[in-house]
Amino acid sequence: MPTDEQVMEALRGVDDPELGRSIVDLGMVRRASAKRGAVDLEIGIPIEGAPDAAELENAIREALSGLEGVKSIDARFTTMSEDERHALSDRLRPWGDGQARVNPFTDSRTRVLAVSSGKGGVGKSSITTNLSIALAQRGHQVAALDADVWGFSMPRMLGVDRPPSIVGELIVPPRAHGVRLISMGFFTDEDQPVIWRGPMLHKALEQFLTDVWWGEPDYLVIDMPPGTGDISLSMAQFLPRAEVIIVTTPQVAAQRVAQRAAGMADKVRLSVVGVVENMSWFTGDDGKRYEIFGSGGGADLAHDLGVELLGQIPLVPALREGGDDGHPIVVAAPDSEAAQAFAGIAARVDEMGPRRIAHPELKIL
């Protein structure tokens, strides 16, 4: 028959799905006893009606089923009190009592990918969404930041249907398809235009990085706003190790603007690591590829910048539909040509590994 200590030891190996840490270390196990093989548990969950409670219960049952002599498991889930939540946030937050908050990304092993372009509507948000999931599908911990504070679209595209949870002093991002997301969309009313002035915006972006429980993801993928304004400057300041991925369409005009984004990256000393060409072709019912927006823009831009063309994404109605209803194509149709293209880009980004490429000789037209 297992002892109370053995039950506790087995629970130590269970991570809270929301917070990604051991439920024992997080102080979530309120009671764990075992009498004649009957295990009786009380688990304190930080957030009322936590959407991941079922996932947690399954993980607990699985961990205990490995213990010999367990006959039954009675697990009760109760919501933590305000004091308990604060104690939990003290355990989670990376800064100590009375210390200044820290930005976890300046000095961590997390690779930061900033998806940019010089022009709107080329598919940055779609690419951020699908690339994030494709990286998660490769087994990585992935977080996404929707830095497009005016035109936020990632909550809808990723299919996130709930706001972040507040645990003590920390904001815990919701997850969808294995990706944690923070977006200005969670903090504003969709119908109200957001009017942010420079300093406020800077502060808001900083809070996204410091007050949010990110865990320690392998990747942070950022949907940058179109253009090269205040936000890009702030992001570069907060995330000096960010690697820029430029999105362009095959036509030369789009390539010009994408080049501007590259110029911006250069100015703020972020390294461009690659180009993704979007809307490269449309495959008709006849099986032929139609290059609706021309061809060669991505390859030319990559060549001019001295970086790789990481991939080409075809124009497919399913990609737009998946973005509209929160079922991104890499999840909805993983075998499709577009999903495979995202998988290829994720693989390539992984292979490249973190690096900084300096191009002092680079001249932006």
The identity of residue 161, as a single letter, is D
The answer to the question of residue 123 lying near ligand ATP (CB under 6 A) is yes
The answer to the question of residue 121 lying near ligand ATP (CB under 6 A) is yes
Q: How far is the CB of 137 from ligand ATP (least distance, A)?
A: 19
Selected binder of ligand ATP within 124, 175, 260, 327 (CB under 6 A): 124
Closer CB to ligand ATP, 165 or 280, in the complex: 280
Closer CB to ligand ATP, 8 or 194, in the complex: 194
Closer CB to ligand ATP, 118 or 173, in the complex: 118
Closer CB to ligand ATP, 44 or 123, in the complex: 123
Q: Of Mg ion, ligand ATP, none, which one does residue 123 interact with (CB within 5 to 8 Å by kind)? A: ligand ATP
Closer CB to ligand ATP, 104 or 326, in the complex: 326
Check the CA dihedral 214-218-222-228 and report its sign.
Answer: positive
Closer CB to Mg ion, 125 or 280, in the complex: 125
Whether the Cβ atoms of residue 248 and residue 254 lie closer than 8 Å to each other: yes
Among the listed ranges 35-43, 147-155, 194-202, 292-300, the one in contact with ligand ATP (CB under 6 A) is: 147-155
Q: Of Mg ion, ligand ATP, none, which one does residue 226 interact with (CB within 5 to 8 Å by kind)? A: ligand ATP
Selected binder of Mg ion within 110, 125, 165, 248 (CB under 5 A): 125
| Total number of residues shown for the chain | 365
Site residues (CB under 6 A) for ligand ATP, limited to 298-317: 313, 315-316
Site residues (CB under 6 A) for ligand ATP, limited to 204-263: 226
* Phi (first) and psi of residue 287, to 5 degrees: 80, 0
Angstrom distance (rounded) from CA 242 to CA 221: 9
**At a CB cut-off of 8 Å and minimum separation 6, what does 70 contact?**
2, 34, 37, 39, 64
Q: How far is the CB of 129 from ligand ATP (least distance, A)?
A: 8
Token output for 261 = 């984004």
CA-angle at 49, arms to 44 and 53, nearest 5°: 65
**At a CB cut-off of 8 Å and minimum separation 6, what does 10 contact?**
2, 63, 64, 66, 67
The answer to the question of residue 259 lying near Mg ion (CB under 5 A) is no
Selected binder of ligand ATP within 80, 278, 281, 305 (CB under 6 A): 278
Q: How far is the CB of 225 from Mg ion (least distance, A)?
A: 7
**Residues forming a β-bridge with 116:** 246
Closer CB to Mg ion, 119 or 124, in the complex: 124
Site residues (CB under 6 A) for ligand ATP, limited to 178-207: none
Q: How far is the CB of 123 from ligand ATP (least distance, A)?
A: 4
Angstrom distance (rounded) from CA 39 to CA 164: 33
Closer CB to ligand ATP, 152 or 213, in the complex: 152
Chain position whose Cβ is nearest to Mg ion? 125
Angstrom distance (rounded) from CA 159 to CA 155: 6
Among the listed ranges 52-60, 115-123, 186-194, 297-305, the one in contact with ligand ATP (CB under 6 A) is: 115-123
Chain position whose Cβ is nearest to ligand ATP? 120
Closer CB to ligand ATP, 123 or 326, in the complex: 123
Residues lying near Mg ion in the complex (CB under 5 A) are found at: 124-125, 153
